Chains A and B, each alone.
Chain A
Amino acid sequence: QKEVEQDPGPLSVPEGAIVSLNCTYSNSAFQYFMWYRQYSRKGPELLMYTYSSGNKEDGRFTAQVDKSSKYISLFIRDSQPSDSATYLCAMSARWGNRDDKIIFGKGTRLHILP
C-alpha cells in the first residue's frame, strides 16, 4: 500500500461549484498535512497546511483532516477558472527532526469550466 493515495482525475466542474479534493494515507505517524497547487509547467506552491485533526479555513479554501480515518480533504467554494491546476496533498511525520521528509500524493488535475 502506498503511503499517500490521491485520485489523479481529471476532475471537471462548472464555475461556481464546490470542489472536494481528497487523499488517504497509511502512516499513522503523519501529523502535518499540506495542500500544494501546481499550475502547468510550474513548480508546486504551498496553498494550505494543517496540524493534526480538524478544519482550517482560508478564504474560499477549507482544509480538513480526519486522523481517525487517515483522510484529508480540500474544499474550494465558489470555484473560479483560475483555480484550474493540479492539487497535491502532502504530509510529514515529525517537526524539529532532520528526518522529516515530505511525502506527496500524485496530484489531482482540476478543470473549472467557465
Chain B
Amino acid sequence: SQTIHQWPATLVQPVGSPLSLECTVEGTSNPNLYWYRQAAGRGLQLLFYSVGIGQISSEVPQNLSASRPQDRQFILSSKKLLLSDSGFYLCAWSVSRVGITEAFFGQGTRLTVV
C-alpha cells in the first residue's frame, strides 16, 4: 500500500534561519507531488507542484523553493524564513485513474517562525 511520510511534525524557527522540510512517498512510482500551505483563516494554498524529477512548478511567488531530487522525494526549502512563512505545511501525492484524480496527504508540519 502507498504511504506518505512528512517530517518534522512541529518546527519552531527564528526569523532569518533556513528551512528544509522533507516528504517521501512509498508504494507508488512517478507520482505527482505537491506542497500546500494552510495558514490560519486562509485555506489550502498550492505552493509547488511536480510531475517528475527536477520538474517543479511554482504557483505563488514567495520566499520558498522546492526540489525533487528523487522520484518519490519532495523537499521544501527556504534560505531565510520570514514571520509570514508560519503555517501548516502539507505534502501530498496524487494518482490518476479512470474517473478520479485523488490526492493523499501527509500529516503536515506546523511551522512557527519567531
Residue in chain A with minimal CB distance to B9:
A41
In the complex the two chains form, is A6's CB within 8 Å of B43's CB?
A: yes
> Bound state CA distance, A94 and B41, in angstroms?
29
Question: What is A's interface to B at a CB cutoff of 8 Å?
Answer: 6, 8, 32, 34, 36, 41-46, 49, 51, 88, 90, 92, 94-107
Of B13-21, B67-75, B76-84, B101-109, the segment with at least 4 beta carbons within 8 Å of chain A is B101-109
Question: What is B's interface to A at a CB cutoff of 8 Å?
Answer: 32, 34, 36, 41-44, 46, 49, 51-52, 57, 88, 90, 92, 94, 96-108, 110
Say whether chain B's binding surface is mostly helix, strand, loop, or mixed: strand
In the complex the two chains form, is A49's CB within 8 Å of B96's CB?
A: no
Nearest CB of B to A2, in Å: 10
Known: A41-B110, A42-B107. A101 touches B46 (CB 8 A): yes
In the complex the two chains form, is B36's CB within 8 Å of A100's CB?
A: no
In the complex the two chains form, is A95's CB within 8 Å of B96's CB?
A: yes
Residue in chain A with minimal CB distance to B98:
A95
In the complex the two chains form, is A101's CB within 8 Å of B34's CB?
A: yes
Q: Which residues of chain B are near A99, meaning CB under 8 Å?
A: 51
